[in-house]
Each structure stands twice: as C-alpha cells, then as structure tokens.
Amino acid sequence: MPGAHLPQVQLKWPNPGSNEPPSIFNQPRILTMATRKLLLLPGDGIGPEAMGEVSKLIEVMNRDGNAGFETEEGLVGGAAYDAHGQSISDSDMELAMAADAVLFGAVGGSKWDDVPYEVRPEAGLLRLRKDMELFANLRPAICYPALAASSSLKRDLVEGLDILIVRELTGGVYFGEPKEIIDLGNGQKRGIDTQVYDTYEIERISGVAFELARTRRNKVCSMEKRNVMKSGVLWNQVVTQTHKAKYPDVELSHMLADAGGMQLVRQPKQFDVIVTDNLFGDMLSDVAAMLTGSLGMLPSASLGAPDGKTGARRALYEPVHGSAPDIAGKGVANPIAMIASFAMCMRYSFGMVAEADRLEAAIAGVLDDGLRTGDIMSDGMKEVGTEEMGDAVVARYRAAA
C-alpha cells in the first residue's frame, strides 16, 4: 500500500480527538460549493512544465470524480513582463483576488536580469503576496523514506522527518521602513533595512502555528533573536501570551534562531511546527528543505486571514524551487514539488483531505516504485522525465480511487 511508507504523522482533517475542524481550516463556503475556482500562474522556466502536470491531474479529477475545478490561466514574472511590461498585469491580479486559490509555478531567469527593479519577475510574486495579504507561509519538510539516502545528513537523522515551518511573510525586515541607501556625502553610503513587528502580526502568525500543531504532534517551537533584537523580545512575549490565552494545550518552546539553525541539522526530528519571522524563516526553511534531499520535492502554501463572513482564506500554493533556467525546456524537471503544492491546496483551501492524502500517497508510491527525475536519481532507479513522472503520479492516484 503506497501510503504505508509515508512518514507516520500527517496533517489531518478533522482535528484528531475533536468533532470540529480546527478553525484554520474552517471554510464552510468552500466546503459546500459546487465549483472551485483556481488561477494557474505557470510563470517562467520550468514553471509551465511543472504546472502542465498539475493541469493534467485537475483534468482527470474533474472527469473521474466531478471535482468541479474551474481553472483560469494568467501570466506572471518574465512572461508577464514580455507581454505587458509588468511582472503581473492588473487584470491577472484581479483574477487572483477573485480565485479560491492560486497555483504559482516559478519566475525569473537571466533574460530579465536588466529589467527595471520595480518590474523584475520576482515583483509579481511579491505583489501577489502583498495584495492577497498572505501573511502565513507554510513549508513542510518531509523526508520520503525512498529518498532518505539523498539527504546530506545520515539516514537515521532524516528518515521519517516531518517538520512544518510557519514563516511570517508580510512583515519584518523585508518590508519595514525606512528601507533605503543614503549618501552620507563623505564618499560613504549607508544601506538601511528596518526590522519591525506589531503585536497583531505576531499574534496571527503564532495562532496559525498553534492551530496547525493541534493537527500534528502538538508542539510549537518559536524562534527569534531576543538576545540582540527588540523585535525578538516582543515576538517572544506575544507568542508566550497567545499560547497562554488560547492554546495552553499545545507544547511551546522557544529557541534563538541561530541555535535553531544548528538544531535543525543536528537533530531535526525533535521539531514539529517551527514558527518564526520573515527573515529567519526564509533561511531556516531553506535549511530544513535541504534535509529532505531535493528542491524539486518541496511544496509550500501561503495563506491570508479568514474572511469575516465566509471563513475562506486567500491562498497561494507554489513549489519552493525557482525557474531552474539550466534545465528549462528539456522535459527533465521534477514536477513533484508542484504536484505536492496542489495537494496542499486541496487540503487547506478546499478541505479535500482524503484526496490530498491520496495524492501524497501516490507520490510516495511512485518513489517506492523506483521512478526518479534527474535531480533525485540514484543507482538502480529508473530515470524519467517530467511527463513520465506526472503520468505515473496520476496513474497511482487513479488506481487508489
């Protein structure tokens, strides 16, 4: 049975031990509606190739199971710049705001290295995150047993690894003002970035982490640098207060972010959910990612706040990898990160937990069968291209119906 080889602890629906779904998933409008509106933004490089495999799956699901996905496609990144001179057009941005979820491929490439900063490919992604107010970035680091040998750490340290990093995405030093380079007039310049967090930002991101922990092993580790940063002191205080007021049943620990980085490579399985700010989350989630073997395997989700009336959250799902210009157009990209992002989309945006479990089990099954794209290839395995890997996952998914 394919799912038998997945790590034991999976995100579950509904909340184990309770009749109610945890409020992070509480989306009554989406759970009962007939159509599920998806905006596909394949982007640049390998983005369209990987997205093609998800489109295939969506088509099959609509045909076989009446899943009711309604898809539209837009341009983002360099592709949007070439067409409109913008990294995402206003009309595609409107589609994103109206969609139940956005699936994003990847952006960027040397072709657009010299375009103005404001319209560089990455600006499209930043605009989506900002306008959709996607403040919570979820990055699971799961080590499939079939791939444990390709981690840079020893097998016993990573086999069965299942960590979820919850990164604050819309605040902190990437957005704080002032943010500038000023001329000091003496031949020197000064570069300034500002790390800033307000109480509500820390409350809402830690709330997401606590809610998710309840669906897993019930542990949250909060990481900051309270020893040298005022924003770290506040972060620590607010997480502690939020825990005490609303989530006392969850086990909470605190760690300095640099020590957290060390612990991630020393003994990664000690963690369940890690919650941290934008900058530290950026780095720590990349460290955690590498524990699992390949960039081509890693999905992510970015969620907004629930709508007051409907409970639905804006959401964007994307693989962690970039546009991989070195292999773009060759048909060799690993589509699993993109497909696993779609599994997260079904789980978080549509409450399709059985389908998400089935899709993740199909991925594990295909790996157990020995199929590998070039990035995860090892001795004795069968090397396949993007389409063959996508077809195999779809076939496994259908077979498990």
Binds ligand NAD (CB under 6 A): choice among 20, 326, 379, 401: 326
Among residues 109, 140, 232, 260, the one that binds ligand NAD under rule CB under 6 A: 109
Q: How far apart, in whole angstroms, are the C-alpha atoms of residue 84 and residue 66?
A: 36
Which residue stretch of 208-216, 241-249, 250-258, 327-335 sits at the interface with ligand NAD (rule: CB under 6 A)? 327-335
Active-site residue, from 131, 258, 369, 391: 258
**Is 286 marked active-site?**
yes
**Cβ closest to ligand NAD, residue 242 vs residue 300:** 300
- Indicate which single residue of 334, 345, 350, 358 sits in contact with ligand NAD (rule: CB under 6 A): 334
Q: What is the x/- site pattern for ligand NAD, positions 169-208, by CB under 6 A? A: ----------------------------------------
Contact call for residue 108 and ligand NAD (CB under 6 A): yes
296 binds ligand NAD (CB under 6 A): yes
Q: Is 258 a catalytic residue?
A: yes
Binding window for ligand NAD (CB under 6 A); candidates: 127-135, 259-267, 284-292, 316-324: 316-324
Residue 92 bears catalytic tag:
no
324 interacts with ligand NAD by CB under 6 A? yes
- Positions in the binding site for ligand NAD (CB under 6 A): 46, 106-109, 125, 295-296, 318, 321-327, 333-334, 337, 373, 375
Residues classed as catalytic: 174, 225, 258, 282, 286
